[in-house]
Amino acid sequence: MKKLLVPVLALAVLTVASGAQVPSAPALPSDGSTVTFNKDVLPILQRDCQVCHRPGEVAPMSFLTYESTRPWAKAIKQAVLTRKMPPWFADRQHGPYRNAPKLTETDIKVLAAWADNGAPEGDAKDRPAPVEWVDGWRIKPDVIVSMREPFHIPAKGRGEVIGFDIPNPFSQDTWVTSIEIRPGDRSVVHHAALQLPETAPTPTRFTGVTTPPFAPESQVLGPTVAAASEGYYGIERRMETSAPPEAIYVPGSPPMDFRIHNAAKLIPAGARIRLEMHYTPNGKTPATDRTQVGFTVAKKPPERRFVTLTPGTMVNPREFRIPAGAANWEAIGELTFTQNADIVWLMPHLHLRGKDMTYRLIYPNGRTETLLSAKFDFNWQLGYDLEEPVQVRRGAKMQVIAHWDNSAGNKHNPDPSRDVPWGELTSEEMMIPWFGVVVDMKADPKSIFTTQASNNSASSPRIGVSGPRNPAETLPAIIRGRP
């Protein structure tokens, strides 16, 4: 059975987010000339792929040169034609999103034509200058904190997700204007999230070992059941309830910068700060990581505040149970905004059977707007930055619709023969539509919205529902939770 490594082609996103200056990609030659690496392909790779596909980064192969790229020509073609790369799951008819990859249909045709024609190198004089990659902080942090101890990752083996409490550097409540997570060794960090859990650490039992409070919490990527599908390793854990990510790191992603919204985020004095690190062996050499977090501090009182919201437990756990074999099980929730807010960021969170999540606004006048409709892949924890804030006013509703596949057709399903309850284990399921808003300073961040739930059986999630639904339809609200 294979172990979970980074997929054949690792994350490729908009390179400009990394601070490097890259040339624009050329159009498909209109004169019938041959597509070559130097003239046509390399500019695309520089813009969309090299952010991960270069030495020292998380991708297992480099696309810096013709010699290192040529063996992967057919794999590149397959990855872009099937939309596996660059990883992006949002329906493109909604948005737009600030962090969306820029790979175009023309780019895909160029890459496919290059592979189909023998992947020629072309004339050296057509080769663009190498990109000067930024190696260091992309913000200019005022405060930097590190993991208390280095963490060691073997050269080969299972991936692992570890939760580390890190020091809170602030002795008083502090407004920060940006947050950057900077891995110590990017070759083994698949993604990372910074959280501010409201609860104290609790002992965590895993594989028969109890860890005391403040010790790292471990999730080992291993076979969840004996019948797990070939090539899939899942995560088993018993950990605290998920806290929303205040900042995330995925290769190539920009830091969380609240200044673009004239806003700041409050870090309370003494608040618990937690890093959730997803490590994956690089397949070559043992590695040591000690990730750092940098903050820029507001120099003056902020005009507005950025708040990351979690509607708590999204459904009544006693009603939430996905039947064995259900291929398109649906749950619908709804919340009502009690204060004005600008929605700027969205991040669906499901587990191994999660298929998709849709965020839809219903305005008081009945108008509807879909903010995001995205497929879900547990191996790629992506957030979606709206290009422009979406203003919602008191009384507007957000409807969240999610689907799960608990059938044998889901290759990631640990056990399609069992019903799946709500739970923190990734072999269980949950429905958390994290989202970020910008609000006025006078707004109460703990009462930006309300949720409601029905206690009758009619509120149970629907099974096997597919196709369009009238978003203005009166729906039983199955969300439970709090900001």
Residue 239 has pLDDT above 70, yes or no: no
Q: Which of 18-22, 88-92, 177-181: highest mean pLDDT?
A: 177-181
DSSP string for 355-407: EEEEEEEE-TTS-EEEEEEEE--TT----EEEEEEEEE-TT-EEEEEEEE--S
Residue 206 neighbours by CB under 8 Å, 6+ apart: 217, 218, 219, 220, 236, 237, 238
Q: Where in the chain is the domain with CATH 2.60.120.230?
A: 307-459
Residue 60 has pLDDT above 90, yes or no: no
What was the pLDDT predicted at 125?
Answer: 96
d(CA 448, CA 337): 6
Residue 89 has pLDDT above 60, yes or no: yes
Q: Was domain 143-302 assigned CATH 2.60.120?
A: yes
Residue 41 has pLDDT above 90, yes or no: yes
d(CA 131, CA 47): 9
Residue 267 has pLDDT above 50, yes or no: yes
Could you tell me which residue, 136 or 249, shows the higher pLDDT? 249
Give the confidence band of 376 by pLDDT, cuts at 50, 70, 90.
very high
What was the pLDDT predicted at 134?
Answer: 75
Residue 189 has pLDDT above 80, yes or no: yes
Nearest of 286, 95, 288 to residue 184 by alpha carbon: 288
Residue 457 has pLDDT above 70, yes or no: no
- End-to-end Cα, the chain, rounded Å: 42
pLDDT tens figures, 314-366: 577 788 999 999 999 999 989 999 999 999 999 998 999 999 999 999 999 99
Query: Can you say how many angstroms the Cα of residue 3 is from the centroid of all Cα atoms in its chain?
Result: 21
Angle between helices 73-81 and 105-116 (to 10 degrees): 150
Nearest of 170, 451, 435, 427 to residue 296 by alpha carbon: 170
How many other C-beta atoms are found inside a 10 Å radius of the C-beta of residue 169?
15
Q: What are phi and psi of 397, to 5 degrees?
A: -120, 150
Q: Which residue has the tokens 């919205």?
A: 449
Residue 16 has pLDDT above 60, yes or no: no
Query: Can you say how many angstroms the Cα of residue 197 is from the centroid of all Cα atoms in its chain?
Result: 18
What was the pLDDT predicted at 378?
Answer: 83
Nearest of 392, 197, 386 to residue 275 by alpha carbon: 197
Residue 94 has pLDDT above 80, yes or no: yes
Encoding tokens for residue 182? 């900077």
What was the pLDDT predicted at 57?
Answer: 77
In this prediction, residues 28-32 reach a mean pLDDT of 58
**Domain range 307-459, CATH architecture:** Sandwich (2.60)
Give the confidence band of 101 by pLDDT, cuts at 50, 70, 90.
confident
Encoding tokens for residue 270? 């003494």
Q: Report the chain's mean pLDDT, rounded to a whole number.
A: 80
Burial class (CB within 10 angstroms; exposed 0-12, middle 13-18, buried 19+) of 200: exposed
Q: Tell me the helix, strand and coil percentages in the chain, rounded to 5.
A: 10, 30, 55
In this prediction, residues 364-388 reach a mean pLDDT of 92
- Sheet containing 368-375: give its strands across: 368-375, 354-362, 397-404, 329-337, 449-451
Give the confidence band of 13 by pLDDT, cuts at 50, 70, 90.
very low
Residue 237 has pLDDT above 70, yes or no: no
Three-state secondary-structure class, residue 39: helix
Residue 186 has pLDDT above 90, yes or no: no
pLDDT tens figures, 401-418: 999 999 999 999 999 999
Q: What are phi and psi of 415, to 5 degrees?
A: -160, 95
In this prediction, residues 411-427 reach a mean pLDDT of 90
d(CA 34, CA 11): 28
Residue 468 neighbours by CB under 8 Å, 6+ apart: none
